[in-house]
Structures are given as structure tokens and as C-alpha cells.
Structure 1
Amino acid sequence: MMTDDNIGIDISKHFLDAHRLSDGGTATFPNAPGGFRALVAWLGRDVPARVVFEATGPYHRSFERAFSGKPPFVKVNPLQARRFAQACGTRAKTDAVDARMLASFGRALSLEPDQPVDGEQFDLRELFSARGALIKDRTRLINRLKTQTLALIKRQTKAQIDQLTRQLQALQHAINEGLRACPARARANAILRSIPGIGEVAASTILIEMPEIGTLRKKKAASLTGLAPMTQQSGKWQGKARIQGGRKSLRDALYMPALVATKHNPDMRDKYIAMLKQGKPKKVALTAIMRKLIELANALVKADRTWTPNPT
């Protein structure tokens, strides 16, 4: 039975600290499969309105994977949760206090539960994370190669770069196979790839980092990417609107597609040129194209149709 209760769970490397708002009940469980089973027993048969926890990198992944699609999960930004606690006048920061504040945060803002994530999506995220780490390693080696002078060291560095390149190709192949294994993702991937500027890597990044693609409102898609301009105004002062927040890896992945789109996507090219003629800086104009791309991608996936040029 669904209730209006709110559960907060503070996740650390070794423990899960839980707090239930309705009766103030608290409990601590190991952050391990045995602890997950004990948490299920503690939650009972009644389904709460939401279970709120912070994104804590590697510490929350096993927990999220074990429970995804069962209780109504809400994963929140740690900075937002901390600011909520400060706004409530809470200065202490312990695991028990954090769990209570997370439950209060969920109730006060009536946070909407996240969409359930299936096991394949978790596998894709892990592959994507490994790919990102290899890219950083290869970039570091390429930069180091530019300053090396000894032939032996240069040969070793080039060999390491070649090995990382092969590993990156293998990871991208595994990602592509994972996307093809699910008909819905395969169809969304085909739609994204039909948009001029969005290639293999950008399409897979969108599908992995924004699994909600195709279910979002226009402004929500831009906001999640961190590409929605935020107004800055106080009294008579009017500042420049700026982008902020959002999913950085997704935003980074849209940079090169936006550049390509300004040359090979007629609609985007016309929009880009028009903004430059209006005196907009190139960076601002390119950011607008990135926003248009993710909004277009969301709209096409929602409509289940590939991109076609506008008739002239």
C-alpha cells in the first residue's frame, strides 16, 4: 500500500543510515547485499511516497542497482541537500542528521521519484564511465608526448597511447552492442544519429547520461543538460543570463556536434549565423545551438521519427 511517508538514506562507503519521518524511526545497515535485505525488512510492506538519497559516486551505485524500480527513489544533488539543511538552520553534519534532512527535503519540495533504471542501463553507465577514464589517460599521455625528447620514452608513450586507443574502441563497441540489444534504445539511437552533427559517441552519451530523453518537456531537457539560461535580476539591476548546473558530461558531449551542426545542419546554421549578425558572441551562439540540439533530440525521440530538413 502506498503511503505519504518520506524516507531519507545517507549513504557512506560502509553504511546506510535511514530515517523515517512519520515516526522518527532510524536504523543503520551495512552498504552491502545483506544490508539491502535488512533495509527491505525495515521499510516494511507499505510503500513510502519517496526514498531520498544523495548521489555519492561509487558508494550509491550498488544500492541504486539493487533497489531500482522498487521503492520510489529520488536521487538528489549533495550541494542542494546541504543548502536545504543550512536553510533549515541545521549546522551539525552527521550521517543520522543527513538522513533526517534528506527525508525532510523530499517532503518539503514534494520531489518527484526518478524513472526506474534497468540493469542494462547500469551496465552502459559503467562502460561509459570506464571510457571517460581512458580518454583522460590518453589525453594525459598525448600531452606528455609533446614534451618528451628521449626516443625510448617516446616509443613507450606511443605504445601506451595505441593500447588505450584499442581499449577505447573495444569499450565503444560494447556500448554500441548494449544499445542495439534493447529495441527502444536502438530506435532512439537511430533517431539521434539521423540529426546532422550527432555522431556515434554523442548519441550514445545522450542515451546513457539522459535516459529520460523523449519523455521530457522542452525546458526540462535544456535544464538537465545545464543549457537553460538562468536569469539574474535584483531590484533595478539586470545581469546577464548564464547557464549553470546540469549534467556536465552530457553538455561536453554536445560541444563538437554543435560545431558540426553550424556547418552541416541547415536549420542550425541559419540560427547560428542570425545570432552572430545580432552581435551575439560566438560562445553564446554556440551554446544556443547546443541547447537547440538537445531539445530537437528530445522532440524527435518523443515523436518517434528521424530528422528531416525543413522544406524551403
Structure 2
Amino acid sequence: METIVAQNVGVDISKSTLDVHLHPAGIARQFANDANGIKALLGWLGDRDIARIVFEPTGPYHHRLERRLGDAGLPLAKVNPLQARRFAQAAGAHAKTDAIDAAMLARMGALLTPPVRQITSEAIDDMRELHIARLALIKDRTAARNREHACRSPLLKRHAAQRLTRIDRQIAAIDAALNARLQTDPELVSRFEILISIPGVGALTAMIMLIEMPELGQLESKQVASLAGLAPQARDSRQYRGKRHIRGGRAVLSQALYMPALVATRFNVDLKAKYQTMVTAGKPPKVAITAIMRKLIVLANTLLKADRKWINKAA
């Protein structure tokens, strides 16, 4: 009786092509990165036993492929490009071509078994695109403010002020579009209302939490803290015990949690007590704030998992 071996599929995505490799079968093919090419890829995969399809995010070029494969019910594993490159280096692959990269992604899927995750909803996809544009405008606004402050010429100051006015209008338009898109998805609205019930978490922070971590409510506490980049990482070796540091994770999310954590140290009874206990015990304020950020994201995950809003114990 023939044994069917599950295949790990590596897909290297470029603007015009999809290089595909099956491991351990060792079969490689190339498809066009368009609607017809993706349809042909789905047909080629056919009834194969697929363990996971491993690919790297490539901006606008991977979106259509991810959506079509996800809608077809295939197991998708989107991996960090830096992690994939380091795996290739560790495997001794010095050459780099699209076909080699596809093979390396397939091998990485077999050896490291990156987690398979469901694709996000179309609403989240649309909101993420808007949020990325908003982040770019925030950077533009900071640069324009710096130019306005540094300029001596009245003309240049006027140009900078006009630019700031345009940026503010564009940010306001994106905020309105984000809210409008949110309202089209009742489940997202329910999750949003739970998040904003937490003292310190405003509308924008709740939006970012939904966009940057759609898995919230489906994870364990340690997983949430790690994904957010707020879990202390050990640096120990034999008798040496190094200081714990946070690193990695989803930087946009962790940055968005900083100000809500500050607010929570004043208005959230539980988190205020936690912060004061840590500071009284001699912890640096920055370390205490990081702990509150971690508590916030864990609290959000717990409330979403229980499908309930935050309740003020002092009430």
C-alpha cells in the first residue's frame, strides 16, 4: 500500500511570478502571479496532502495569493523574511534565486513547523491598509513639524503649515474610513466595544489592537505577551544570570500600548495597584510601565475570550 506523505509547500512571491516547491517530493513549478496563475496553482496542488504552505509577506504582491489560498481552505504559514533568511544561512544556502528561496521555505516548513493561522477577515485587511497609510502620514507630520520649527524663511514656514493642514485632513479622512469599515462588521464592532471598555484604551488603540493582533481572544496569556513583544527574554548561561529584556514582537502594537498603560496607572484600579507595588519594590518606572502594557494586552485577550466588557470593581 502506497504511503501518502504530507507535503510542505514553499512559495517565493514576486511581482510577476510564484515559484513553488514541494518538500519532500522535490517537485518545483512556476506560475504567474495573477488570477489565472493562482487558479492554475490551486489545480496543480489538487488533492495533494498539504501540511502547510509557507510564504513571506511581500506587500501588495502576496495579498491576492493569501486570500485565494485561504478561501480554498489550505493551511497557510506566513513567516518573517529575516527568520527565513537566517534559516537559509544556517542550512548553508549561499546562493539566492527565487527557486532556491521556494525550496528553503518548504524545508523550513518541514523542519521548524511554523504555526498555521487562518487568514484575517476582509474588513481587517482593508483596515490594515488604511492604518499603514495613517502611520506614514504620522511620520510625514512629524517631519513637517520639524521643518516648520527649523525654517527661518516666512515662505518655507507657510509651506510647512499648509502641508501640516493637508496631513491633518488626510489623517482625519483615514480615521473616518477606519470607523466606517469597522461598522460594516458586527463581530468587529462587538470586539471593539469590549476593548474600549478597558480604562486607558481609546478608540485608536482598540483599532490598532484589532488590526495588529486579530488573534486576540484565541491565545494563551504567554502567547499574547510574546507576540506583542512584551514578554521578558532570559539571558542566562551556566552561572551567569543576565537582565531580562523585551525584544521582537509586533512593534506597532507595543508602541500603541504605551500611552494607554500610562493612563491605566491612574484610572484602572487593578493596574494602578500593580504599578505602585512594583515601583515601591524598587523597579524602575520604565520596567513597571512595560509590565502594565503586558497586563493590558493579556487583559484584552481574557475579556475577548470571555466575550465580556471590563467591570470597575470600585463601582
TM-score by length of structure 2 reads 0.94
Q: Give 1:201's match in structure 2, choosing from 195, 199, 204.
A: 204
Look up the equivalent residue of 1:107 and give its one-letter code.
Answer: A
Question: How much is the aligned-residue C-alpha RMSD, in angstroms?
Answer: 1.7
Look up the equivalent residue of 2:128 and give its one-letter code.
Answer: R
Matched, 1:233 2:240: no
Report the alpha carbon displacement of residue 203 of structure 1 after superposing the two structures with TM.
0.3
CA contact (8 A) 1:145 1:154 kept: yes
CA contact (8 A) 1:198 1:257 kept: yes
CA contact (8 A) 1:18 1:28 kept: yes
Equivalent position of 1:274 in the other structure: 277
Equivalent position of 1:69 in the other structure: 71
Q: Give 1:141's match in structure 2, choosing from 141, 144, 150.
A: 144
**Deviation digits for residues 253-296 of structure 1, max 9, x if unmatched?**
11111111112212111111111111111111111111110000
Alignment of 1:209-224 (within 5 A): 209-224=212-227
Q: Give 2:131's match in structure 1, choosing from 128, 133, 143.
A: 128
CA contact (8 A) 1:226 1:251 kept: yes
SS of residue paired to 1:68: helix
Equivalent position of 2:30 in the other structure: 28
CA contact (8 A) 1:262 1:268 kept: yes
Look up the equivalent residue of 1:294 and give its one-letter code.
Answer: I
Equivalent position of 1:302 in the other structure: 305
Look up the equivalent residue of 2:113 and give its one-letter code.
Answer: S
Look up the equivalent residue of 2:161 and give its one-letter code.
Answer: K
**Deviation digits for residues 15-60 of structure 1, max 9, x if unmatched?**
2110011421101122222321221122123351110001223332
CA contact (8 A) 2:197 2:309 kept: yes
CA contact (8 A) 2:52 2:116 kept: yes
Look up the equivalent residue of 1:247 and give its one-letter code.
Answer: R
Q: Give 2:292's match in structure 1, choosing from 289, 294, 306.
A: 289
Matched, 1:112 2:115: yes
Equivalent position of 1:10 in the other structure: 12
SS of residue paired to 1:49: strand
Q: How many residues align?
A: 311
CA contact (8 A) 1:68 1:118 kept: no
CA contact (8 A) 2:66 2:119 kept: no
Report the alpha carbon displacement of residue 123 of structure 1 after superposing the two structures with TM.
0.9
**Deviation digits for residues 173-232 of structure 1, max 9, x if unmatched?**
111121221111101100000001110110000001111111111011111111111111
**Deviation digits for residues 109-152 of structure 1, max 9, x if unmatched?**
23331122222221111111111111111111111111112222
Look up the equivalent residue of 1:282 and give its one-letter code.
Answer: P
Equivalent position of 1:92 in the other structure: 95
Q: Give 1:54's match in structure 2, choosing from 56, 77, 87.
A: 56
Alignment of 1:240-255 (within 5 A): 240-255=243-258
